Amino acid sequence: MNKKFLSLLFLTASFFTFAQEKQEKGIAESINEGFKPVADAWGSFVFYPVKLGGGVEMPLVIIMLLLAGLIFTILFKFVNIRMFPVSINIVRGKYDEVDHVTSDEAAGDSTPGGDAIETIRTEGEEGEVSHFQALTAALSGTVGLGNIAGVAVALSLGGPGATFWMIIAGLLGMSSKFVECTLGVKYRDVGEDGTIYGGPMYYLKKGLADVGKSGLGKVLAVLFAVMVIGGSFGGGNMFQANQAAQQFGSMIGSNDLSTSLIFGIVMAVLVGIVIIGGIKRIGNITEKIVPFMVGIYFLAAIVILAANFSQIGSAFGQIWNGAFNPKGITGGLLGVLIIGFQRAAFSNEAGVGSAAIAHSAVKTKYPASEGLVALLEPFIDTVVVCTMTALVIIITNGDGGIMTYGVKSPDGVLATSKAFASVIPWFPYVLTVAVVLFAFSTMLSWSYYGLQGWMFLFGRSKASDYAYKILFCLFVIIGSAASLGAVTDFSDAMIFAMAVPNVVGLFFLFPKVREELSSYLNAIKSKKV
């Protein structure tokens, strides 16, 4: 099947190669223009603006996500702070004996009337990946261009103060991730071959049926599945491929169609090789790529901060003062707050439901164990990586050479690249590699998210499985070769539309999460005793 798959990819590549450049551009432009009214209408619906005074607006979906994070933080008594050490210990493997309960081999004949000796039996072994692999798979879907480019755009619009509200929103998002990922494990399905099927589709359908709202659950589950498929092809695929192709072309000094096409073909082949192996292979890849790239990025930021150690205090001062006393920023305090909140929501996707799909595949007996692991995700993505990016930009922008606060930066990646290059001249090359690898890992995660939605709607057959994966790889090539702005805008709106059915379900099901958390903490306590 792998040979057939790769053959199909190369046949598709040949089709694109033989097409004329002008014709390709014409097709892209036609698709873009034809789809734009649909994308605009859908985007206006999903990101419906709520006027908050002072001439500033905030999308209703972002307000909903932030309120969900705040409410769950209060309901679970600041689980994001209180359980943070437990989360770290779970990832470290300290509670593996609790998550995977075993009974030791017994001596002698344990079978009445027989001669069989009891063998080791493991309970709660359903699942395909470890806690760490599930975490990195989910992180690979969020850590990327949002951290590299999105933070720069947020700072250009809201100034240093946007960083403070970004951090606050990230901390609130930790509670939402905890709730949705606990439910993802609790209500997952396990196939006959041990394959895991999970995510909001399943806890909306099964969980809401559990609380007497079966009809609502079925409707919300289907809506979520449709949206996650759309999001996987656009924002989780074409946009990533396009940005990576552009960054690569910029590095080698060639941004023509043929370069983008070759890049897309290579990327599609690599993505195809990985995703055919399913979540196990995705987890094996992301557990290596994500820590490596985050580590490189973090180390570079540390080098810059160390070289400008005396300015760190001043940078934090700018963040604090700008958060509560912004000058020259549209909308003043409210404007800065909104910009910070929006960037955090777009970056970590807490409450959107995407991460619950990756985390549902974990090997554990207790759903709450993975919920606690998942709360680390917004912390790493937003509180750590986004904050480090912001500090580097603020410190290196002392003379205003990187950006002018209050004036939107046209290219966030370029601004971040300039900030790092001011201290590490060769870092733009490393940043290019980072952008490509982050785009690659994001596509891997979103291929799995979209596949879960696809198989929920169209069945779990091999044909359904490979049909989606082939389509996904074809969209990698299309996304690299043609900038379909309207299509990706539509897809981005679909990603955030996922939050609507998801958050509705979370509010109905959070008592189940409370039960699971209590059960897990009691298990840890009894083990210690």
Q: What is the pTM of this model?
A: 0.81
Which tokens in the block code for residue 370?
């993975």
Where do the H-state alpha helices sit in 310-353? Answer: 312-324, 332-348
Dist CA 106 CA 127 (whole Å): 26
In terms of residues, how long is the chain?
A: 529
- Is 305 in a helix, a strand, or coil? helix
**What are phi and psi for residue 444, nearest 5 degrees?**
-60, -50
Q: How many CB atoms lie within 10 A of CB 113?
A: 5
- Residue 129 DSSP label: B
User: What is the longest distance spanned by two Cα atoms in the chain?
Assistant: 86
**Dist. CA 391–CA 160, nearest whole Å:** 9
388's tokens: 């480090």
Domain residue extents for the chain: 2-97+124-528
Quickly tell me which residue has 């930066």 as its tokens: 409
In CATH terms, the fold of domain 2-97+124-528 is Amino acid/polyamine transporter I (1.20.1740)
Per-residue pLDDT tens, the chain, 529 aa: give them. Answer: 455 545 544 545 554 444 444 454 555 566 566 667 877 887 788 888 888 766 677 788 888 888 999 999 999 999 999 999 999 988 888 887 777 654 434 344 444 444 433 333 334 456 566 777 777 777 776 776 667 777 887 888 788 888 898 899 889 999 999 999 999 999 988 877 777 888 899 999 999 999 989 999 999 999 999 999 988 887 778 877 877 787 777 777 766 667 778 888 888 888 888 888 766 677 677 777 777 877 888 888 888 888 888 888 898 998 888 888 776 565 566 667 777 777 777 777 788 888 888 888 888 888 999 899 999 988 988 888 888 888 998 988 877 777 777 777 666 677 887 888 888 888 778 877 877 888 888 888 888 889 999 999 998 888 888 899 999 988 888 877 766 666 667 767 888 888 899 999 999 999 999 999 999 999 888 876 4
Cβ within 8 Å of residue 59, ≥6 positions away: 46, 47, 48, 49, 50, 342, 496
Say which amino acid occupies 149.
A
